[in-house]
Amino acid sequence: MAMEKTFDAAAAEARLIEAWEQAGAFRAGANAKPGRDSYSIMIPPPNVTGVLHMGHAFNNTLQDILIRWKRMQGFDTLWQPGTDHAGIATQMVVERELAKEGKKRTDFSRDEFLSRIWAWKEQSGGTIINQLKRLGASCDFDRTAFTMAGAAGDTSTGHENSPNFHDAVIKVFVEMYNKGLIYRGKRLVNWDPHFETAISDLEVENVEVAGHMWHFKYPLAGGATYDYVEKDEDGNVTLRETRDYISIATTRPETMLGDGAVAVHPSDERYAPIVGQLCEIPVGPKEHRRLIPIITDDYPDPSFGSGAVKITGAHDFNDYQVAKRGGIPMYRLMDTRGQMRADGAPYADEAAKAQAHAKGAAFTEAEADAINLVPDHLRGLDRFEARAKVVEEITAEGLAVMTTETRTDEDGNAQEITVPLVENKPIMQPFGDRSKVVIEPMLTDQWFVDAEKIVGPALDAVRDGTVKILPESGEKTYYHWLENIEPWCISRQLWWGHQIPVWFDEAGNQYCAPTEAEAQAQAGEGVTLTRDPDVLDTWFSSGLWPIGTLGWPEETEEYKRYFPTSTLVTGQDILFFWVARMMMMQLAVVDQVPFDTVYLHGLVRDAKGKKMSKSTGNVIDPLEIIDEYGADALRFTNAAMASLGGVLKLDMQRIAGYRNFGTKLWNAARFAEMNGATGSDGQIPTPEATVNRWIIGETAKVRQVVDEALETFRFNDAAQALYGFVWGKVCDWYVEFSKPLLLDGDDATKAETQATMAWVIDQCLILLHPIMPFITEELWGTLGRRDTMLAHADWPTYGAELVDPAADREMNWVISLIDAVRSARAQMHVPAGAKIPMVVTSLDAAGQTAWDSNETMIKRLTRVESLDKVASFPKGSITVAVEGGSFGLPLADIIDIDAEKARLEKTLGKLAKELGGLRGRLNNPKFVASAPDEVVEEARDNLALREEEETKLKEALARLSEVD
């Protein structure tokens, strides 16, 4: 039965996905050849709540290219799929479902709530896995893992390919705790007041918002004064006055209540007279006003604001470091909901305790944390409501720094008035990526990994080349983060997750064990134990992804075969959060690196280089692309834009172009079928005809280029090489060159051409399959009876030995002549249907042979009617140069030379204005410095395109000058 005229992607994709699954084509070890090494990739586990977005589509396309390529090479492959339990995201989804029923989490016991989550996971948690199948991901889906597998309530445990991930996580926690690598302590963390939990930096979105900077006076203790002097750069005094205060600026006045000091830079001469003195916090009941010291630290910037910084160690990450260095007490002002604390003794008592410390009394960190320094009338208020009241009270007391403004009254008269100094300026504010509320730096009790103790081997593995990070700029980032590593907060105040395996007795003693029974045995009979309610950060469990998914701590067959894994493909944004932590965890637990190569890619952006976001309305749904263009077009686009370290710009026109590429391949296959050129047995043909020998050599060349590109993770180079070969060399040139042989050749020539074309089309399918699996698998099954699916076809190893130098030289000479004539005709606007004469002044023997062998074809494809040898080109000719020869096209009587010149000169003049504007913008330092990166990049791209266009127009004009 003849092939369909077009490829029905939607119907074929669904059918092929099912066929691959039923054949077990992607199971671990499928198509492995005896003696071949293993090659394994661990999928960066998407959130179980997730749906496929462009980042997933890009990331998984690259992984699939690698795994399909290695599988066809006969490696023992495993692409391990799975999902992350996504603590906050999943809990949020289920709480929203409960809200529809008019219920909330706290209406249930913890176990009841977790049962609801497991039920949701069973029903809706596999969405993204099914979407990955639509992309063509060739994972071993029978081994789909889950970072909470094996936890209480999991109904999937017991499946032969479902390792007990939960027990592995708990085992690691207990072992690290017993080694002193995990501890509980009080540190500053990102706190989400909506979910009432600590969150990671990756879950914080820093957004520029309209903000205010208030300026306040902190009076010096006891009415002390000093000579305040400001100088210019030359040392000249510009201001001198006697002050009884030090001024600070803040965007968060409510945190002043917890100040422990005011800091100035050691070099700041303005404040040298008062360093070591006490100043008064200008808020709270006057009779209980606290005094805090003025200290020096390298953190304040003398050139910014007043140069003096209030230090609130419990509510600012920079202040926290200053407070630690200076032994400054840290007072927590807010509760878990972001409201001002309402616990503790009356403010008068609490302020007295803090004041005693300022005068030298010592107390512990825990005692400092217990002190509530929120005045009685502000307790229980929302933090932003408290902010307004603090500003109002300070201003009413006259302790706001004042400035003069010119305002116009109702009669239009201008007058100067004195007002509080408040700067309206944009500020970067942290928001929870899911809660969308302002994140509060909060001093809380959390569990930490003492990362300094385990970071060394992870650094060494990259330094000594055991693990390679690509691009190399990723290594620098990796070193910077790990060389300056802080303790890793691994606890979250949620119900969904791996619950911390630590129990406390009534005295606060800790008992860490895998089970409550073992903890009770440690504590002794009769001791009442309470389990820590917190759960582990999802990054802790996903840090064990490589070994946990392979069945560790059991010595499973998969663990022995596929660990350490081979390549990790992931985003630059989680280099620290996931990649580095996997390195640290695997080395700490099993003393092996988790992979040997890390390929990092950036974010997928829109066609103009802008970050995709719902707010800007430029989010592109990959499933909609697949519906419209097919998965192969999206995949080829992903590969083509995956330059190492490059910007990932997704252009819909490009996707449409690669769908057309698939159509071109389909049409070439139809041509082959109609001409009996299908059903290759895989044996490399040994033809006589020059064109057949040439295309076999071109196939060998592209095979080498593709392998070299994929070996070095240059996916774009592989895609471009295949595009140029399949579209240009095969679908255009070879199909055209073969027509005379198939239609007019003798039986032997026709047969060898059929065999060659069948083999070449098959090689196109094989080489394209890792990038475009659907259309190639469909054609593979359509064009012949096969013993195996294309997914298991042998990847070729042929190379330079198939290149025939004579055929290569001849056919590439022919192609260059045809291209040159066509280009000249197009530049000169020669009517497409016009047949024109051509002349030649010189031609070497090789060129003459090539002409003689291909004259008919050259004339047909260039619409040249004749070739005459002349001593010199006649007036009105343009030259067409090729290797070993010089041809000419007499065009004086065919085109209007003057009109063409006028058209080109007019176009060049218009283009010159555009180029001038673009160059002016890019040469303006202010534009480059202040414009968004994507705008600058777009201007540079436009300039390059316009310059290329100008070059071509000038070449055409120069050719016309020859004619003239």
Cα separations (Å) of 159 from 117, 164, 414? Answer: 20, 10, 82
Would you state the pLDDT for residue 549?
Answer: 96
**pLDDT (0 to 100) of residue 309:** 96
Please write the tens of the pLDDT for every residue from 331-347: 999 999 999 999 999 99
pLDDT band at 959 (very low <50, low <70, confident <90, very high): low
Confidence of residue 915 (pLDDT cuts 50, 70, 90): confident
Measured at the alpha carbon of residue 765, what is the angle toward residues 760 and 768, in degrees to the nearest 5? 120
Mean pLDDT of 284-307: 93
Q: Which amino acid belongs to residue 10? A: A
Please report the pLDDT score of residue 157 as a whole number. 47
Instruction: Report the mean per-residue pLDDT for the chain.
Output: 92
Q: Among all chains, which residue has been given the structure tokens 């997914």?
A: 791
Q: Is the pLDDT of residue 438 over 80?
A: yes
- Please give the DSSP secondary-structure letter assigned to residue 106: G
- Angle (CA) 615-620-626 rounded to 5° is 160
Residue 955 pLDDT exceeds 90: no
Task: Quick: pLDDT tens for 187-228.
Answer: 999 999 999 999 998 899 999 999 999 999 999 999 999 999
The pLDDT value given to residue 1: 62
Spatial neighbors of 34 by CB under 8 A, at least 6 apart, are none
What mean pLDDT comes out for the span 634-640? 97
Give the separation between CA 700 and CA 73, rounded to whole angstroms: 16
N-to-C CA span, the chain? 58
Give me the torsion for CA of 88, 90, 95, 98, rounded to 10°: -170
Tokens (6 digits) for 404: 């003069």
Q: Do residues 700 and 802 lie in contact, with contact meaning Cβ atoms separated by under 8 Å? A: yes
Q: Which of 384, 368, 296 is nearest to 329 (CA)?
A: 368
pLDDT tens digits, one per residue of 6-34: 999 999 999 999 999 999 999 999 999 99
Burial 105-142 (b: 16+ CB within 10 A, else e): beeeeeeebbebbbebbeeebebbbebbbbbbbbbbbe
What average pLDDT does range 372-390 have in this prediction?
96
The pLDDT of residue 897 is above 80: no
- Determine the pLDDT at residue 900: 67
pLDDT of residue 484: 94
Residue 159's pLDDT band, with cuts at 50, 70 and 90, is very low
High-pLDDT (> 90) share of the chain, %: 77
Asked if 878 contacts 806 with a C-beta cutoff of 8 angstroms, the reply is: no
The pLDDT of 569-589, averaged and rounded, is 95
Q: What is the SS3 assignment for 381-400?
A: CEHHHHHHHHHHHHHHCCCE
pLDDT (0 to 100) of residue 956? 64
Percentage of the chain lying above the pLDDT 70 cut:
98
Q: Per mean pLDDT, which of 122-131, 417-426, 533-542 is the most reliable?
A: 533-542
Is the pLDDT reported for residue 963 higher than 50? yes
Euclidean distance between CA atoms 168 and 589, whole angstroms: 11
Residues 757-796 as b or e (16 or more Cβ within 10 Å = b): bbbbbbbbbbbbbbbbbbbbbbbbebbbeeeebbbbbebb
CB 936 within 8 A of CB 953: no
Q: Beta strand 468-470 with 197-199: parallel, antiparallel or unpaired?
A: unpaired
Q: What is the mean pLDDT of residues 627-644?
A: 96
- Residues 116-143 have a mean pLDDT of 94
Nearest by Cα to 294 from 321, 328, 254, 324: 328
pLDDT of 707 > 90? The answer is yes
pLDDT value at residue 158:
40
Look up residue 147 and give its amino acid.
Answer: T
pLDDT band at 178 (very low <50, low <70, confident <90, very high): very high
With 0-12 / 13-18 / 19 or more C-beta atoms within 10 angstroms meaning exposed / middle / buried, residue 923 is exposed
pLDDT in tens, 305-336: 899 999 999 999 999 999 999 999 999 999 99
Q: In this predicted structure, what is the pLDDT of residue 734? A: 97
pTM above 0.75, yes or no: yes
pLDDT at residue 938, as a whole number: 76
866: pLDDT strictly greater than 50: yes
- pLDDT in the model for residue 160: 47
Q: Are 282 and 218 in contact (CB under 8 A)?
A: yes
